[in-house]
Chain A
Amino acid sequence: MKNENAKILIVDDEKIVRESLANWFEEDGYTVDTAKDAVEALNKLAKTRWDVYFLDIKMPGMDGMELHRRIQAIDKEAIAIMITAYASVDTAVQALKEGAFDYITKPFDPDALSRLIRNALKQRKLAIENIELKGSLESLTTPPEIIGVSKHIKEIRESIGTVAKANTTVMIRGESGTGKELVAQAIHAQSDRRFSPLVTVNCGALSDTLLESELFGHEKGSFTGALYKRKGKLEIANGGTLFLDEVGTIGTKTQIDLLRAIENKEFTRLGGNEIVKSDFRIICATNTNLEDAVKKGKFRDDLYYRMQVYVIYLKPLRERPEDIPELVQYFIQKYKTKMNKPIEGIETEAMNMLMQYAWSGNVRELENAVERAMVVTQSKVLQIKDFWLNQTKQLPSYQTDLSLSEVEKTHILNVLEQKNWNITNAARVLGIDRVTIYKKLKKYGIKRQQNV
C-alpha cells in the first residue's frame, strides 16, 4: 500500500497529540484526518473509512475502548492502535484482547511509531488482499449454469439451493448425459464448502481394489507397487465434497468400508493403522437401478439408505423438450467463442427437428450434436443438413393423430435406420420376413436416403 493511499484517523482529545501525529504522518505522505472525540470520529466514519485508527483510550464521553468496539462493528478489518499513558497499560492489554492491533504509550518513540505504522499497513494490505482474493475465488467457484426453462429444471435449481447449505448426503439419479456431475458441481459451489476441493471419483472406471486404494489411500509398501504413501480421495476432500459417480458399481467389500467412513468421518489407509479424520460431504450419482441391486444383494441396503438422504432425479431430455432451445443457444454461444466462428443461431426447422429427437444420450449428446453441426456448417445459421443425427439415429416418436399405416411406415423406417438398412436384421426386429418388408417399402414408397 503506497503511503498516499493509506488513510489514518487520529482520535484524541488533546489537540497537541492530534496535530503532532497528523503532521508526522503527513510528512510521511499519509492521508490523515483527526477527531477530538468518539462522536466526531463516528460521524466521520459514517462518511468514509480509514485504514488505521489511532484511538486514545482516555477521552471524555465515550472512551477509546468503546469507540474501538463501534469501529469493529462497522469495519471488521479496521486496524486500531490504542494510545495510552503508562498508567492505563492494563486497559490497552484489554483492547488487544478485544482485537486492537497494538498500543503505544505516550510519549512515543519515533522509531517504534514508524515500525508500528509500517506493520499496521502491511496487516491492512494483507486483509484487503485476502478479501479481494476471496472475491476472485468466489467468482471462480460461481455455480455452473443449469440451463433450461422447464418446470423440472426450475425444481432442480430449487432443490440444489435447498440442499447445498444442508451439508447432507445427496444422491443424484438420472440417465447418462443428463448432467449429474453438473448438479454435483452446483451443489458444491453453493455450499459453505465451496472454497475447499470438489473431488470426483468415477467408481465405474476402477476395479474394486483400485477404487479402495483411490478412496482410502495407502501406506508405503501396503501392496506390490505401493512405492510411496498416498493420500486417498476421502482425505483430499477434507473440508470439501467428494463426488462419487456410478456408485452402483462399487464392490461389496468397499461398500462396507465406505459406509463406515461416511458415518464416522474417519478411516485408515490401506496397510496402515493410523486413523485418518476427514470432514467431507458425499454427493453420489448413479444411472442404474440401485433398488434392484439391493434386492439382488449386490448393493448393501444400509449404504443405500445412507446415500439416499436427499435424492435429486434428473429427467431425461426427451421428457423435457422445452429445454432444448435454450440448451442449443447456450452451446452455440459456448462453441462460437471456442471455435471463433460467427454463427448466429439455428433455423426453425432444425430446432424443431432437435426438439422431436429422442436424445438417448441426453444433454451430452445434444451438446456433441451442436458442436459437430458448428464444425461442418458453412452458413451463419445452423441448418438441418448440419446435423448428422437426423438421418441415422432418430428414435420412434409417434404422434397420437397418426393413422395406423402412417405409424407402420414410420416404425419400419425407424427400425431400418437403427439397423443401418440391414433388411434381415430389421425383419427380425419387426417379426416379419424379408419379403414382407420389401412389400411394405414399396407400398409406402420408402427409399434409403444417402447419408452425408
Chain B
Amino acid sequence: MSEIILVPLQFEKLFLLDFLKTNIMGITGISTAIQNHNMSLDPSFDSNRGQYDAAKIIEAFERENSAPSIICTTVDLFIPIFTFVFGLAKLGGDVGIVSSHRLENQFYGLPDNEELLSQRLLKEVIHEFGHLMGLRHCRQFDCVMASSTSADDVDIKKPVYCNTCQMIFEKKLH
C-alpha cells in the first residue's frame, strides 16, 4: 500500500487536516495525502433524523485512485439501526468515514477544546483505517481498535495499535 487518502467533505475543521496527515504517517508508516472531492452529502441527508447516513455516503463515494480513503466531515452521522456513529468502515473495505460532530466538546455543552478534538479525530481515523485493513475491535481498552460508543471511550484510547493489532496490521500490509 503506497498511500492513504484523507478526503474532507463538508469538513469545517480544515486546519486539522495537516495534523491528521502528519500523525497518520507517523503511526502507520504509510504516506498520507489530502484530496478534495466535489461530492455532495445532500442525498445522504435524512430530514426526519437531521443526520447523514454514513453507509450511503460510503456507497456513493467514487474514489479517484485505488488508495484507501477516509472521508472527514463535521456533519452528524448515523446508520439506520443506530442513533449515531462516530465513523464507519467496512472490514477490508476501501472507504471509511469519520465525523467530528460528536467528538467536539461543544456537543456535550462543554468549552471548546481543539487539542482534545484533534486527538479524538486522529484516533477515530486510525480506528476506521484499521477496519479497512481488516482489523476487528480489540479488547485491550487503550488500543485504538477498542470499540468506542462515547467520547469518553475515545479519550481512554491511545492513538496507536496495541502489539497484537500492530502485528496483524503489518501482516495485512505486506
Contacts and interface: CB of A to CB of B under 8 A. Distances in A.
Interface of A: 3, 14, 16-17, 20-21, 23-24, 26-29, 106-111, 113-114
Contacts of B136: 26-29
Given A3-B139, A114-B147, A20 B131 contact: no
List the 8 closest A-B pairs by CB distance, nearest first: A111-B149, A110-B149, A20-B81, A28-B137, A29-B136, A16-B80, A109-B83, A107-B83
A107 B80 contact: yes
B137 A110 contact: no
B155 to A, nearest CB: 14
A110 B90 CA distance: 17
A126 B174 CA distance: 42
Contacts of B85: 110
Given A27-B131, A114-B147, A20 B137 contact: no
Interface in B99-115: none
A107 B147 contact: no
Contact of B82 (A3, A29, A109): A109
Q: Which of A16, A20, A29, A113 is most buried by chain B, counting CB atoms within 10 A of its CB?
A: A20
B55 A20 contact: yes
B137 A27 contact: yes
Contacts of A114: 147, 149
Given A28-B137, A107-B82, A110-B84, 12 more contacts: A16-B79, A17-B80, A20-B55, A20-B82, A21-B81, A23-B91, A27-B136, A27-B137, A108-B81, A109-B83, A110-B82, A110-B85
B22 interface: no
13 contacts: A14-B80, A16-B55, A20-B79, A21-B81, A27-B91, A27-B136, A27-B147, A28-B136, A28-B137, A106-B80, A106-B81, A107-B83, A113-B149
A109 B79 CA distance: 11
Q: How extensive is the interface on chain B, given as a class?
A: 10 to 19
A20 B131 CA distance: 15
A200 B167 CA distance: 61
Interface in B120-151: 131, 136-137, 139, 147, 149-150
A28 B80 contact: no
A23 B90 contact: yes
A353 to B, nearest CB: 69
Contacts of A29: 136-137
Nearest to A29: B136
B78 interface: yes
Contacts of A111: 149-150
Contact of B91 (A21, A26, A109): A26
Interface of B: 55, 78-85, 90-91, 131, 136-137, 139, 147, 149-150
B54 to A, nearest CB: 10
A108 B82 CA distance: 4
Contacts of A107: 78, 80-83
Contacts of A24: 81-82
A142 B8 CA distance: 69
A107 B48 CA distance: 12
Contacts of A14: 80
Contacts of B147: 27-28, 114
Nearest to B153: A111
Contacts of A3: 139
A374 to B, nearest CB: 55
A123 B84 CA distance: 27
Given A110-B149, A114-B149, A16 B81 contact: yes
A12 to B, nearest CB: 9
B84 to A, nearest CB: 7
Contacts of A26: 91, 136
B108 to A, nearest CB: 14
Contacts of A28: 136-137, 147
Nearest to B54: A20
A6 B90 CA distance: 21
A10 B83 CA distance: 19
A365 B74 CA distance: 89
A107 B46 CA distance: 13
A250 to B, nearest CB: 62
A23 B81 CA distance: 11
A224 to B, nearest CB: 62
A23 B58 CA distance: 14
B101 to A, nearest CB: 14
Nearest to B53: A16
Contacts of B91: 23, 26-27
B50 to A, nearest CB: 13
A137 B14 CA distance: 65
B126 to A, nearest CB: 15
A108 B91 CA distance: 21
Contacts of B79: 16, 20
Nearest to B86: A110
A27 B84 CA distance: 17
A20 B84 CA distance: 13
A110 to B, nearest CB: 4
A21 B91 CA distance: 13
B150 A17 contact: no
